[in-house]
Amino acid sequence: MNEFKRVVIKLSGEALAGDKGYGIDPVVVENIAKEIKKISELGLEIAIVNGGGNIWRGLSGSAKGMDRATADYMGMLATVINSLALQDALENQGVNTRVQTAIEMRQVAEPYIRRKAIRHMEKGRVVIFASGTGNPYFSTDTTAALRAAEIEADAILMGKQNVDGVYDSDPKINAAAIKFDCLQYIEVIQRGLGIMDSTAISLCMDNNIPIIVFNIDDPENIYRVAKGEKIGTIVGGK
Ligand code: UDP
């Protein structure tokens, strides 16, 4: 029996960029696609939300001096580019996929329709949610939380780079930092642990969606987490 029936995998944009830290590294994307194929073959229903930070980030990065909403729309378009790269890599592995976008662009992808997304997953297709929530002032972490609630996912599998879970302080700065095996949402908020932005974590808390934070530097961890291996940190849940 699988640990999960339906999951949302959250990949940051940088996870697709590899060592360069920007753009898309096809080898990295291929390796991620191979792992997603493996979990798809376990019979798990899979939705993916990917970020856009490897191409454009609205608030903190690329957009200094720009109108915030415009910069955010550019960030959402960046997630579409990543979604198509991921779709291409998955289809090359023989995985059936659909990209659904929160901002309509019919020539490129389906519009986001919740019931259709669920139907795709039931048929074994991997659904990739592009364009974030479709709204500026939000993040793709919030998108993952929102979509997970909507499609009634059992968990969000949250791949992080350069870290293998949630620590009480930054392990890159503090060698004595302690890793949590599990923790409650409220602790994440109170301690200001930067797993997700506060909107996203609140949404997970309100809807009781477990978040499993793991290291994506080794893409095989996607498979390990999906199979229920206890690696990384579990936020919320039982
Ligand atoms: N974004 C947005 N609304 C959303 C999701 C994303 O405005 O619902 C924009 C925002 O500017 C963000 C950018 O898209 O900075 C890229 O997403 P994010 O920073 O979450 O990507 P990640 O850090 O995961 O690569």
Q: Determine the distance separating the centroid of ligand 1 and the alpha carbon of 53, expressed in angstroms.
A: 7
Higher pLDDT, 238 or 109: 109
164 lines ligand 1 (CB under 6 A): no
76 lines ligand 1 (CB under 6 A): yes
Q: How far is CA 81 from CA 23, 65, 89, 135, 223, in A?
A: 10, 24, 13, 17, 24
pLDDT at site 172 = 87
Q: Determine the distance separating the centroid of ligand 1 and the alpha carbon of 56, expressed in angstroms.
A: 8
pLDDT at site 65 = 86
Mean pLDDT of 137-149: 97
Name the closest-CA residue to atom 23, ligand 1: 53
pLDDT at site 238 = 67
Q: The whole model's pTM is what?
A: 0.96
**Which are the contacts of 127, defined by CB distance < 8 A and separation ≥ 6?**
46, 47, 48, 97, 98, 99, 100, 117, 120, 121
Lowest average pLDDT, out of 80-84, 170-174, 202-206, 221-225, goes to 170-174
Confidence at 61, pLDDT banded by 50, 70, 90: low
Domain 6-162+208-230 fold: Carbamate kinase (3.40.1160)
pLDDT at site 60 = 65
Mean per-residue pLDDT of the chain: 95
Q: Determine the distance separating the centroid of ligand 1 and the alpha carbon of 175, expressed in angstroms.
A: 31
The percent of residues above 90 in pLDDT, for the chain, comes to 89
12 lines ligand 1 (CB under 6 A): yes
Instruction: Measure the CA–CA gap between 186 and 191, rounded to whole angstroms.
Output: 8
In 37-96, where do the E strands start and end?
45-50
Q: Determine the distance separating the centroid of ligand 1 and the alpha carbon of 2, expressed in angstroms.
A: 31
Tokens encoding 122: 């039931």
pLDDT at 59 over 80: no
Which pLDDT tens digit goes with each residue over 166-185? 999 988 899 999 999 999 99
Domain ranges of the chain: 6-162+208-230
4 lines ligand 1 (CB under 6 A): no
pLDDT at site 3 = 87
